[in-house]
Amino acid sequence: MADKDGMKIAKDYHIDKPFAKQGGFYVKGMSDVDWGMKARLANIFQPESGHTVMLAFDHGYFMGSTSGLERLDIVIPTLAEHIDVLMGTRGAIRTCIPASTGKAVALRVSCGSSILDEDLSHEIIGVSIEDAVRMNASCMAVQTFIGADGEKESLDNLCKTVDAGLKYGIPTMGVVAVGKQMERTSRFFKLATRILPELGAHIVKTYYCEDFEEITSACPVPIVVAGGKKLPEDEALTMCYKAISEGAAGVDMGRNIFQSTDPIAMVQAVRMVVHKNATDKEAYEFFLDTKKE
Ligand code: R5P
């Protein structure tokens, strides 16, 4: 049994010091990965800013049709020109998104629970590495359930995906799930965002929370921030601004974009914060000036 007695509380995050091991490649912690993996990471994290705007529209994999995503074929292509990465399932991307958009793909590869299930934490890997290669995936996304029933199997999914991706130079994004059984404290997020890169994840998707700077400091790979449930646009932009100011390398947002009163104005506002150092106030003013009445 692991010895948990006598563990000291972590506190030396050195938030003011840049990450030490950059080795000439701008994506955090990725100086020693293979050329192909660097090229895929550069499709995700834009070389000019080092950041990314991912559009999450993978909700159907466990929720079915979601408000705002009833017609993926209509909604997603209109947003695609304003984003860097399409995050979705192979079924949604193949059937609804023209390959000619030329955007990077964060391919959802884990699945196995639906909203009809009380416990969503039991997933499998539902996409082979060969199909991820065929889809030209720039990374593969695996849901993980730290502290929930399905913790061990989800970490097994993550490790197996990392191993498969390493063979072909495809990075893995570990997604920190929150659920009924799980805490949403900074203690929980600190734990989860450290376990996933230690197991080999190249990118971590998590939620914004208190002590976020400590979380980004202690995580040796880039963190992208999840959007979560729909907020008023100004609040969503403030969350985005705080996350980027406190060390996130981008966002992976869904409902806060496609359920906005004007999704195109909103995605452009998010992009200003992520790539152009705009403040939340500037971005919200842009949103108000740009949105259609
Ligand atoms: C979350 O972990 C899943 O990937 C979701 O299906 C999706 O990405 C959530 O996006 P949002 O919370 O921004 O709508």
Domain limits of the chain? 30-292
Which region, left, alpha or beta, applies to residue 147 given φ > 0 means left and ψ of -120 to 50 means alpha?
left
Ligand 1 pocket: which of 57, 58, 231 to mutate (most atoms within 8 A of CB): 58
Ligand 1 pocket: which of 87, 252, 258, 270 to mutate (most atoms within 8 A of CB): 252
Q: Read off the pLDDT of residues 49-86 as tens digits, 9 standing for 90 and up.
A: 999 999 999 999 989 999 999 999 999 999 999 999 99
How far apart CA 212 and CA 197 sit, in angstroms, is 16
Residue 181: which pLDDT band, with cuts at 50, 70 and 90?
low
Confidence (pLDDT) at 1: 63
Using the predicted structure, report yes or no on whether residue 280 has a pLDDT greater than 80: yes
Tell the CATH superfamily of the 30-292 domain: Aldolase class I (3.20.20.70)
Dihedral angle, C-alpha 260, 265, 270, 271, nearest 10 °: 150
Å from CA of 92 to ligand 1 middle: 15
Structure tokens at 157: 């999914």
Residue 102: which pLDDT band, with cuts at 50, 70 and 90?
very high
Q: Read off the pLDDT of residues 9-56 as tens digits, 9 standing for 90 and up.
A: 888 899 988 888 788 899 999 999 999 999 999 999 999 999 999 999
